[in-house]
Amino acid sequence: MDLLLIVRDALASSLAGNAMVALAARGAGREVAILLTGEALSAVARGSFRWPRELSGQAMRLLIADRAKELGLPLASKGEARQLDVRALLDQARSAGARVYACPIWSALLDLQNRLPDGLQALDREAGVRLVLEARQVVGSF
């Protein structure tokens, strides 16, 4: 594994940024994985992302959506409701070959072990530790 990105918060901007880095790394031929933990795991499993205050509001949402479209990133909705589609962006990274894992400890704490959404790979504790130890570069924290 060349690059392991650990995402722990439920901010849509954080998940989107990590998915874009994963896409770029895959495009450069790197082996990359995203490890979802804590709030991020809950948000992906249960679907409740939030935007930070500085990136929220309709004007900012529309600005981000317009720039995302120019970059070929997925949008949710149309017209005045358009916005960057964070879940679709994560799916794009996964389709490009990035692996997306659920943290085993947070999966247990959130009671998600047997209820992970499609595309999220479960890990046992040993595999989770191995993933972190064997990655050439780890970005993020628990």
Cα 59 → chain centroid: 24
Specify the pTM: 0.91
Per residue in 110-134, pLDDT (tens digit) is 999 888 988 899 999 999 999 999 9
Per residue in 91-101, pLDDT (tens digit) is 999 999 999 99
Per residue in 18-53, pLDDT (tens digit) is 999 999 999 999 999 999 999 999 999 988 788 899
**In this predicted structure, what is the pLDDT of residue 48?**
77
CA distance 98 to 90: 9
Domain architecture of the chain: domains with CATH:
3-50+86-139 (3.40.1260.10)
Q: How far is CA 40 from CA 6, 70, 93, in A?
A: 9, 27, 16
Place of tokens 């780890």: 138
Q: What is the DSSP string of 3-16?
A: EEEEE-S-BHHHHH
Q: With pLDDT > 90 as the criterion, what percentage of the chain qualifies?
A: 77
